[in-house]
Amino acid sequence: MRGFLASSIGVTCAAALALPLTPPAVAATARPVPTSEAATTARPAPHAGTPDATMADRRAAEPYAPGSTQSLPLEALTRNRATPTGPGVPEQGLTRRAVRHFSLVGIVWDDPEAELHGRVQVRTRAAGTGAWSGWQDVETHNADHAADRGSPESTSGRVRGATAPLWVGDSDGVELRVRSEPESAEADSAQQGTGARNLPAAPPLPSGLRLELVDPGDDASPPGASAGGPRSAVLAGEASAAAEVSAVNADLAPLGAAEITALNRAETEREFFALNAGEPVERQARPYVGPRPRIVTRRGWGADEGLRERGFRYTKKVKAAFVHHTASGNNYRCSQVPSLIRSIYRYHVRSMGWRDIGYNFVIDKCGKIYEGRAGGVARPVLGAHTLGFNSNSMGIAVLGSYGAKKPSSAAVRAVARLTAWKLGLYGVNPRGKTYLKSGGSNLYRKGKKVRLNVISGHRDGFKTECPGRKLYSKLGSARSKAARYQGR
């Protein structure tokens, strides 16, 4: 891959000047947006005529800013007498209220090493109808999706603990409750009993709990600013960042392309030889590489390149693929996926403090593949997806929750097509085994060499439910399909 890496790097600087990109919308801060910064076209204000409209509702009806995050500190909740919690069980949350528009929720806290043991539930108000949803559970265990300990990304000082994000669709009202619970199964069983005196103590909730309400914005171009003004400088910086992202894919697609088109087997082999020009002669043999699938680029899903940390970070090679689910729920339409990815991206960067979205690739339930972390889809980009095993691997996230729901056949097929191509570029058999050195996880000590399936589930490297029982059970099928796509 050296020829490919050198040629991609070589065009980056020139592309920053030549690439005809229209930069995406500038992200708003988590604070209320002043009128002067509001979008020229605002969404409707919260429903002032609904029964729960209060003075707080009217205060929340401020000018809307597309592409923003509201960060609300949690408050102590009065115990619900109908459902006693037992002595000493802390509860926090937010009472029902109107807020600015958002589509994705998550909870963050100060210490990234602290865990939230308990239950997080949220209900939201649909912006279009004013109807409130039922209570929805938010997946609390998310620390296993992270940069390896000791890496520059994990030690930046910006990283926070967080739940998984939950997609709720366009909403303008929210209610939240967070309840601490004992960790053990025995404790959970005891909680259901009648004797409060025998309840084990619940652990304290992490400090600094905040509700993050993310609006994905859109990929429509914002109005420009006068030449030389501060807005022009921001737009120029975003254009440069977007150009760099596109340039590292320049051997695969035109600069500024919204997608990398699919290739057949013969075309993929010709591309492989071109990418490996100058490699040792054994790399010039007929490759086992699957046909290149269609991949929607970051430009295609509307990434705001001004959000992420500039520059790219790489590992040495790609020896394995870890499959994840996002645990963000299954209530999305495939037409909403660009908005959903923009929301997760913003949540990872602005709320959790990562340098970019954590996953290298994202796949939706319709089987469409999306570029994740910036740095080039054919290159060994260092992600933040599998704590302890981010080096020499890639992370693929299937959008949705697959503990009880089966993944679509289209999504499983997309996992197979993507791994057949990407692993094939590095000479790796999808049905094989490989060794990875652990960076430290709750299953393997740091430095231990671990034998893993080339296509593994997240739970193979970390004690977690991810990628969900139903998706995990499909990985054998994905391995077989990927090997057939490679011609093995």
In a domain, 297, yes or no: yes
Q: Which of 1-15, 48-62, 394-408, 443-457 has the lowest mean pLDDT?
A: 48-62
- Is pLDDT above 50 for 396? yes
Does residue 210 share a domain with residue 241? Answer: no
What are φ and ψ of residue 162, in 5° steps? -160, 155
Q: Look at residue 234 in the predicted model and tell me its pLDDT.
A: 59
Does residue 425 share a domain with residue 293? Answer: yes
Does residue 270 share a domain with residue 190? Answer: no
Q: Look at residue 346 in the predicted model and tell me its pLDDT.
A: 97
What is the per-residue pLDDT across 74-103, written as a single tens digit (0 to 9) for each? 999 865 544 444 445 589 999 999 999 999
What is the per-residue pLDDT across 404-447, written as a single tens digit (0 to 9) for each? 999 999 999 999 999 999 999 999 999 999 999 987 777 777 88
Does residue 186 share a domain with residue 41? Answer: yes
In a domain, 337, yes or no: yes
- Is pLDDT above 70 for 34? no
Do residues 241 and 305 touch, judged by C-beta distance below 8 A? yes
Does residue 259 share a domain with residue 145? Answer: no
In a domain, 228, yes or no: no
Q: How many domains does the chain have?
A: 2
What CATH number has the domain bearing residue 388? 3.40.80.10
In a domain, 155, yes or no: yes
Q: Where residue 202 falls among pLDDT bands split at 50, 70, 90?
A: confident
Looking at 215, 245, 263, the residue that finishes a domain is 215
Q: Which letter does DSSP use for residue 283 in this model?
A: G
Measure Cα distances from 341 to 141, 168, 296 in Å: 20, 13, 12
- Is pLDDT above 90 for 481? yes
User: Measured between alpha carbons, how far is 128 from 347 in angstroms, rounded to an integer?
Assistant: 24
User: Measured between alpha carbons, how far is 104 from 337 in angstroms, rounded to an integer?
Assistant: 12
Token pair in block for residue 69 = 């995050």
In a domain, 232, yes or no: no
Does residue 404 share a domain with residue 453? Answer: yes
Does residue 454 share a domain with residue 322? Answer: yes
Q: What percent of the chain has pLDDT above 90?
A: 60
Does residue 280 share a domain with residue 167? Answer: no
- Is pLDDT above 70 for 225? no
Q: In sequence order, what E strands does 110-187 have?
A: 118-126, 136-138, 161-162, 166-180
Q: Look at residue 154 in the predicted model and tell me its pLDDT.
A: 81
Between 472 and 231, name the one with better pLDDT: 472
Does residue 141 share a domain with residue 39? Answer: yes
End-to-end CA distance of the chain: 22
In a domain, 22, yes or no: no
In a domain, 470, yes or no: yes
Looking at 184, 215, 246, the residue that finishes a domain is 215
Q: Which of 136-140, 257-261, 464-468, 474-478 has the lowest mean pLDDT?
A: 464-468
What is the per-residue pLDDT across 265-312, written as a single tens digit (0 to 9) for each? 999 999 888 877 766 545 556 789 999 999 999 999 999 999 999 999
Q: Look at residue 89 in the predicted model and tell me its pLDDT.
A: 57
Query: Roughly what angle, to the nearest 10 degrees, separates helices 475-485 and 409-425?
Result: 50
Report helix, strand or coil for 277: coil
Does residue 121 share a domain with residue 207? Answer: yes
Does residue 296 share a domain with residue 154? Answer: no
Q: Look at residue 464 in the predicted model and tell me its pLDDT.
A: 79
User: Measured between alpha carbons, how far is 477 from 54 in angstroms, rounded to an integer?
Assistant: 54
Does residue 191 share a domain with residue 94? Answer: yes
pTM for the whole thing? 0.82
Q: Which of 22-26, 87-91, 239-243, 343-347 has the lowest mean pLDDT?
A: 22-26
In a domain, 13, yes or no: no
Mean pLDDT, the chain, integer: 81
What is the per-residue pLDDT across 163-200, written as a single tens digit (0 to 9) for each? 999 999 999 999 999 999 886 643 444 444 444 455 56
Domain extent for 267: 2-8+237-485
Q: Which of 19-28, 236-245, 354-363 has the lowest mean pLDDT?
A: 19-28
